[in-house]
């Protein structure tokens, strides 16, 4: 969980930096994004990393499901009175639930953009690159469906925020890195990225929606 988790966080950062280009909605900006999307889906090294990424997502999800099932079996009879908030934070106890929300989002997100980019009939821009920018803009601006997709996106980012709030520092503990000097820093970095990354992501569809007309 820790190895794949940290790898997936590194993906979140790269993916975010690339897609922040969508904040430039001018024609040139869209064409720049389309050229970037073409590069990301055709450059061999990126392709190899993307396969590692798909495997990591699957492994992280399946391992998570196995762990949740084992952990439930470890306590067949539940407590009638149970006050977990006195000793731990909600996110740490609900990583499975948060992960499920995130997985559902990833499937929807890949269906909306990844699938369209690879196999959809989405047309090309003036440079001859597949016009993914137009697909993104349409998805988040298209009437009430657009509004719902923006809302789902923001909710999913909140789930990622809670998931990282516990997950980032937890990965280091799993590796055995717990040190009086470093652990407080790791925790602060974790809290920082768990707020900044999902927030920056959420800005993209909200901005596209607000830029309508």
Partner 1 sequence: MDLKLKIWRQANQNTKGELKDYAIKNVSADSSFLEMMDQLNEELITKGEEPVVFDHDCREGICGMCSLHINGEPHGPQNATTTCQLHMRKFKDGDTIYIEPWRSRAFPVIKDLSVDRNAFDRIIEAGGYVSVNTSGNTLDANAMPVPKADADEAFNSATCIGCGACVAACPNASAMLFVSAKVSQLSLLPQGKVEAKDRVLNMVNQMDLEGFGNCSNVGACAEECPKEISLENIARMNREYLGASLASSK
Asked if residue 188 binds partner 1 (CB under 8 A), the reply is no
| Whether 8 contacts 60, CB under 8 Å | yes
Using H for helix, E for strand and C for coil, what is the string for 156-170? HHHHHHHHHHHHHHH
Among 50, 92, 112, 116, binds partner 1 (CB under 8 A): 92
Q: Total binding residues for partner 1 by CB under 8 A?
A: 30
Q: How far apart are CA 109 and CA 123, in angstroms?
A: 19
Place of tokens 């993914």: 132
Asked if residue 175 binds partner 1 (CB under 8 A), the reply is yes
| Cβ at position 180, least distance to partner 1 in Å | 8
- Which residues, 52 to 81, sit near partner 1 by CB under 8 A? 67, 70-71, 73-81
Among 52, 88, 210, 211, binds partner 1 (CB under 8 A): 88
10/173 with CB nearer partner 1: 173
Neighbouring C-alpha atoms within 13 Å toward the C-beta of 39: 7
Q: Reduced to 3 states, what is the DSSP secondary structure of residue 81?
A: coil
CB count, 10 Å around CB of 140?
23
φ, ψ dihedrals at 71, nearest 5°: -70, -35
Among 117, 170, 197, 201, binds partner 1 (CB under 8 A): 170
- Which residues, 125 to 164, sit near partner 1 by CB under 8 A? none
Binding site for partner 1 (CB under 8 A): 67, 70-71, 73-84, 86-88, 92-93, 95, 166, 169-170, 173-178
């Amino acid at each position: 969980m820790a190895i794949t988790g940290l790898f997936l966080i590194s993906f979140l950062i790269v993916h975010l930096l690339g897609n922040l280009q969508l904040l430039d909605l001018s024609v040139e900006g869209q064409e720049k994004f389309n050229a970037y999307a073409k590069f990301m889906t055709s450059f061999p090294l990126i392709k190899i990393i993307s396969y590692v990424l798909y495997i990591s997502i699957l492994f992280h999800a399946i391992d998570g499901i196995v762990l949740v099932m084992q952990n439930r079996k470890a306590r067949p009879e539940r407590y009638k009175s149970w006050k977990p908030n006195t000793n731990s934070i909600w996110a740490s106890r609900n990583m499975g639930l948060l992960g499920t929300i995130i997985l559902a989002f990833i499937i929807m997100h890949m269906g909306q953009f990844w699938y369209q980019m690879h196999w959809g009939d989405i047309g090309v821009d003036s440079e001859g690159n597949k016009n993914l920018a137009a697909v993104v803009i349409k998805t988040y601006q298209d009437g009430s469906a657009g509004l719902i997709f923006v809302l789902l996106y923001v909710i999913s980012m909140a789930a990622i925020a809670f998931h990282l709030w516990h997950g980032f520092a937890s990965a280091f503990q799993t590796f055995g890195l717990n040190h009086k000097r470093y652990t407080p820093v790791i925790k602060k970095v974790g809290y920082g990225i768990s707020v900044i990354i999902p927030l920056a992501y959420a800005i993209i569809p909200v901005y596209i929606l607000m830029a309508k007309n």
